[in-house]
Amino acid sequence: MESCLFCKIINKELPGDIVFEDGNVVAFKDIHPKAAVHILIVPKEHIESISSENSENVIGGLILAAKNIIKRDNARGCKLLFNIGRDGGQVIDHLHMHLLCQS
């Protein structure tokens, strides 16, 4: 998706503070953090939202990435969040999971 902000960060066409990457997933710091630690975990494949067909194929990889980051950074007091659709507060149409931690 040429016009997608998160695809551009994934492809390193735009700067992103990337904290984790594997074959399927990229994680980078949210530009407007709403917690001490606020990371967005995204599939490399462009899928619009949790409601999209096939989203279930990538969700496990997002959660595994979150587990790895939490363990690696000894993060504490964490929450995982998906905003789904405009009414649910989703403003970027590339599926992403928020990892929010108190430290």
Q: How far is CA 43 from the centre of its chain?
A: 7
Q: Quick one: what does residue 91 bind among Zn ion, ligand 5GP, none, with the CB cut-off 5 to 8 Å set by partner type?
A: ligand 5GP
- How many Cβ atoms sit within 10 Å of the Cβ of residue 17? 11
Q: Is 38 a catalytic residue?
A: no
Integer Cα distance of 43 and 65 in angstroms: 10
Residue 90 interacts with ligand 5GP (CB under 6 A): yes or no: yes
3 forms part of the interface with ligand 5GP (CB under 6 A): no
Nearest to 25 by CA among 61, 71, 69, 70: 61
Q: Which residues pair with residue 67 across a beta bridge?
A: none
Least Å distance, CB 17 to ligand 5GP, is 7
Whole-number minimum distance, CB 3 to Zn ion, in Å?
A: 9
Closer CB to ligand 5GP, 50 or 75, in the complex: 50
Under the binding rule (CB under 6 A), the answer on residue 48 touching ligand 5GP is no
Phi and psi, residue 62, nearest 5°: -65, -45
Q: Report the catalytic residues.
A: 96
Q: Give the interface with ligand 5GP as residue ranges (CB under 6 A).
A: 5, 16, 28-32, 40, 83, 89-92
